[in-house]
Amino acid sequence: MATFKDKLPSIDPRGFVLPALLLLVWQGITAAGWVDTRIIVAPSAVLAAGWNWINSGLALESIGASLFRDASGFTLGAAAGITIGLLLGTSKLANTFFGPTFHTLKHISIFAWIPLLSAFFGRDDLAKIVFIAFATLYPVALATIEGVRAIAASQLEVAKVYGFTPRQALFRLILPAASPQIISGLHLGLIFAWLATMGAEFLLASTGEGLGMTVIRGRAAFRVDLIIFGMLIIGAFGMLLNELATRAESRLLHWRGHAR
């Protein structure tokens, strides 16, 4: 059994030099009083603000609310994306009728949907979740279409020779054969969903909690320390989600071997 430490990639310490230097300069100039510390706050002040925020219990609530939106929107969008992708990828008829509409709509920036979404769903969690689902849907659907279309005719012939039913063809051939593309689509969708979670909280700001809303409120209250700490937490969770996705990917696709 490999320990956690074995799994960590070896890191060259030289990579830390620049960030450490910047931190030092940052702390130095704020301590020396060369800048307006209301705009450029000291790293120590950021840490202090973060510490207070965590201790107040608001941090946990914010993180929880954001992750809930992220997970709900992602699940909804991923399910819809895979379904649409399978439909457009496998059925000529569906592709004829819905393909052009789908491929035209994808050019509308997801942020352009925000006014319409808030008109329909208000500014509550539902609107945010639908927005996140939209952001997830497109990369997942496009990757699924690509994966399904890449299935070799020779593999479909194997299914025909052994008399697969449509259901068997879907679960024993189409989904697994397209899984490398679907999984990288889901990975991309996960990144998009987290970006969209923050986007939704900024642009559909309401009274609830959330990491994005914390940052927005930090700005309103001119709390640069809180803004910066919020950004760090948002980045850290983005990284964490990405890492989880990478691990899930290599586990699910173990059958491809190591040579890629």
Partner 1 sequence: MAHAGTLTINRLNKDYRVKDKNLHILDNVSLSIAPGEFVSIVGSSGCGKSTLLRLIIGLEEDYKGEILLDGKPISGTSLDRGIVFQEHRLFPWLSVEQNVGLALQNSSLSDSEKQRSIQEHIELVGLRGFEKAYPYQLSGGMSQRVAIARGLVNRPEILLLDEPFGALDAMTKYNLQKELQHIWEAEGITMILVTHDVEEAVYLGDRVVIMEPRPGRIKRIVPVPLERPRNRMALNFVRIKEEILGEFGINHQEEEALIPALAA
Query: Of 165 and 246, which CB lies nearer to partner 1 in the complex structure?
Result: 165
At closest approach, how far in Å is the CB of 58 from partner 1? 46
Cα–Cα distance, 75 to 77 (Å, whole number): 6
| DSSP symbol at 255 | G
d(CA 204, CA 126): 11
Shortest CB 255 distance to partner 1, Å: 5
Among 47, 49, 69, 68, which Cα is nearest to 58's? Answer: 49
Helix (H) or strand (E) holding 124: none
Contact window for partner 1 (CB under 8 A) among 64-72, 203-211, 233-241, 250-258: 250-258
To partner 1, the closest distance from the beta carbon of 19 in angstroms equals 40
Residues 120-179 contacting partner 1, CB under 8 A: 154-155, 157-158, 160-165, 168, 172-173, 176-177, 179
11 vs 259 by CB, closer to partner 1? 259
Q: How far is the CB of 79 from partner 1 (least distance, A)?
A: 21
Beta carbon nearer to partner 1, 154 or 207: 154
Applying CB under 8 A, does 101 fall inside the site for partner 1? no
Torsion of CA 251, 252, 253, 255, to 10 degrees: 90
**How far is 246 from 241, CA to CA, in rounded Å?**
9
Distance, C-alpha 128 to centroid of its chain: 14
Q: How far is the CB of 2 from partner 1 (least distance, A)?
A: 21
80/173 with CB nearer partner 1 = 173
* Minimum CB–partner distance for residue 200 and partner 1 (Å): 36
Part of the chain binding partner 1 (CB under 8 A), chosen from 52-60, 139-147, 215-223, 251-259: 251-259
Q: Give the integer Cα–Cα distance in Å for 52 and 167.
A: 55
Cα–Cα distance between 183 and 186 in angstroms, integer? 5
Q: Within 13 Å, how many C-alpha atoms sit on residue 6's CB side?
A: 3
Mutual angle of helices 43-55 and 17-31, in 10-degree steps: 90
Where do contacts with partner 1 occur on this chain (CB under 8 A)?
A: 154-155, 157-158, 160-165, 168, 172-173, 176-177, 179, 254-257, 259
